[in-house]
Structure 1
Amino acid sequence: MTFGTLLEALLLGLLEGFTEFLPVSSTGHILLAGHFLGFESTGKTFEVLIQLGAILAIVVVYFSRFWHVLITLPSSARSRNFVLGILIAFLPAAVIGALAHGFIKSVLFESPGLICVMLILGGIVLLWIDTVTLKPRFLDAMAFPPSLAFRVGLFQCLAMIPGVSRSGSTIVGGLLMGASKPAAAEFSFFLALPTMAGAFAYDLYKNRDVLSFDDGIIIVVGFVAAFFAAVLVVRSLIAFVSRHGLTPFGWWRIAVGGIGLVALALVG
């Protein structure tokens, strides 16, 4: 392990934290950056495990709300509905992710051209969704009915393809199903907790025999960087989306995907 490797881990951790909760595909950005930097992690595990930093950012920012849900769970129907909705939304990705884990990691994660194309297509979807006149019926992320939560969970499964974006697919899915932009973004935050924690635990288990001490060091560096960057994003994203919509992220995705395709054509 060299200083250059640690610096790359730091940069990729910051990239993870800044992009995880934006509808731009953090995995797509990290895989593309790692491809062009020549960064390699054991079994592509670094790219998954540093997401724990982003998970903890959600816990820190929303700690008071999560604590309130926990202590009122026995007595509050609202709290029980919230927990049930998150679990229901998580199930589709949990099942498909476990069944297709090998294919996702060995094929999709190794396809930078596919990532660029999905970034562009996802950007077009974000531009389109901001032009559609939608009438929000669900304004509170903690009060989503189970049926709505399940449908948002199905949209999340699209993010198994790197470049699609977990937050992008769940936010767009929520909007199409009648959620307001702030509620859709907030539900995407909450749904990230079991989804990313599950991916973290499963990937750590699958690669437990091949990880080394050096892997642990770069993962810690990436984790810390991802945590601090994600805290900044989580605290500001909902207000930004409420004011500016998803169009800025759409153009960003198209630009990154287009530049990526050009770079792949030039340097491979």
Structure 2
Amino acid sequence: MLDLIKAAFLGFVEGLTEYLPVSSTGHLLLIEHFFGFQDEDFGKSFAVLIQLGAILALLSIYFRKLWLLATHMVTDAYSRRFVIGVLIAFLPAAVVGALAHGFIKDVLFNPWIVCFSLIAGGAVLLYVDQLPLKPKYDEATGFPLPMYFKIGVVQCAAMIPGVSRAGATIVGAMLLGADRRAAAEFSFWLAMPTMVGAFAYDLLKSHAQMTGEHLVVVAVGFVASFIFGWVVVKTFLGYVSRHGFGLFVWWRVIVGTLGLIGLAIFG
């Protein structure tokens, strides 16, 4: 019963943080370190596997747009170019993730790294948010193809837990000429292949751990992740357009600092 409660809470955290620039993986790793499952290997895999709930939340909201892209990409050059752009942006993370999967999970999945990355990433987010940038692109579907690839390269920094996939993508897009809303929306589009790929690869690597008991725990986390991921996707773009990223800077710094204090006291 305790594991189910933990799974529900972790699913809530995953759904709440996956599409915000605060690092869902970093949050999950810290929670698991202090309050997580006794089976540490399963805990690491759980953090990736419950992403499916957040993925499906995003896909359900973007279903109509995805359907239009799928049905028009053969005949419409604009739609086809955007699909190619998303795939180009996804490519760097796919290559780096496949080559460095073992190193990432064995070495970088470390709570100390998470805390320092949360704080440093908050400083970067604050710096970029306050720059006097002059955006050239206000539509995520209209970036130049080389820009999609550069954003994908920047996204690779999120292989370090605590950096944040959404944060890296948004910062990269803004520095390359996107406005806040377009940068945040493209982070949603790029999340689709990136998260599906990470989920599928980790499931392949950890399927042996998926006993009947573990499947129930993952299912509980999945449902919570779906519900709260749906809420965030529906509200995030509007919030960022009006208020910027200040809230998330403080969020990152506070969580990272509390994590360092907890590690210093409890180990």
Name the TM tier (shorter chain): over 0.9
Who is 1:226 aligned against?
A: 225
Counterpart of 1:66?
A: 66
2: distance between equivalents of 1:210 and 1:239?
40
Partners of 1:123 and 1:251 within 8 A in 2 = yes
Report the alpha carbon displacement of residue 78 of structure 1 after superposing the two structures with TM.
1.3
> How big is the shift at 1:262?
0.5
Amino acid corresponding to residue 47 of structure 1 in structure 2: A
Is 1:248 aligned with 2:247?
Answer: yes
Give the C-alpha shift of residue 208 in structure 1.
Answer: 2.1
> Would the aligned equivalents of 1:43 and 1:207 in 2 still touch at CA under 8 Å?
no
Displacement after TM superposition at 1:206 (Å):
1.1
What displacement does 1:72 show? Answer: 0.9
Aligned to 2:19: 21
2:259 aligns to what SS in structure 1?
A: helix
State the Cα distance separating 1:41 from its structure 2 match.
Answer: 4.8
Per-residue CA deviation, residues 150-177 of structure 1 (Å, 9 max, x unaligned), is 0000011000000000000000000000
In structure 2, how many angstroms separate the alpha carbons of the residues matched to 1:44 and 1:34? 8
Q: What is the SS of the residue equivalent to 1:258?
A: helix
Q: CA deviation at 1:131?
A: 1.2
CA contact (8 A) 2:155 2:165 kept: yes
When normalised by structure 2's length, the TM-score is 0.97
Once the two structures are TM-superposed, the CA of residue 139 in structure 1 deviates from its matched residue by 1.1
Show the counterpart of 2:178: 179
Q: What's the CA shift for 1:48?
A: 0.4
Q: Secondary structure at the match of 1:107?
A: helix
Match of 2:147 in 1: 148
Indicate conservation of the 8 Å contact 2:7/2:220, yes or no.
yes
Per the alignment, residue 106 of structure 2 pairs with: 106
| Aligned-partner SS, 2:131 | coil
Q: Judging changes above 3 Å, is the alpha-carbon distance between structure 1 residues 5 and 98 closer, same or farther for their aligned structure 2 residues?
A: same
Give me the identity figure in percent.
Answer: 55
CA deviations 1:175-217 (Å, max 9, x no partner) are 0000011100000000000000000111111112333221111
The one-letter code of the counterpart of 2:175 is L
Q: TM-score, normalised by structure 1?
A: 0.97
Tell me by how many angstroms 1:18 deviates.
0.3
| Residues 13-49 of structure 1: per-residue CA shift (max 9 Å, x gap) | 0000000000000000000011110324526111001
Secondary structure of 2:209 counterpart: coil
> Matched residues in 1 for 2:78 and 2:222: separation?
33
SS of the residue corresponding to residue 48 of structure 1 reads: helix
Partner of 2:135: 136
Tell me which moved more, 127-136 or 210-219: 210-219
TM-superposed CA distance for 1:74, in Å, is 1.2
Contact 1:15 1:29 in 2 (8 A): yes
- 1:32 maps to 30
Asked if 1:9 is matched to 2:7, the reply is: yes
Is the partner of 1:133 in helix, strand or coil?
coil
CA contact under 8 A between 2:36 and 2:43: conserved in structure 1?
no
1:42-81 correspondence runs (5 A): 42=42, 44-81=44-81
Q: Which amino acid is the alignment partner of residue 157 of structure 1?
A: C
Aligned residue type for 2:222: F
Q: Which residue of 1 aligns with 2:83?
A: 83
Q: Identify unmatched segments of 5+ residues in structure 1.
A: none
Following TM superposition, where does structure 1 have runs of at least 4 consecutive aligned residues deviating by more than 4 angstroms?
none
Encode CA deviations 1:52-82: one digit per residue, 9 max, x unaligned. 1111111111111111111111111111011
CA distance in 2, matches of 1:30, 1:174: 26
Q: Give the AA of the match of 2:259.
A: G
Distance 1:82 1:235, change over 3 A: same
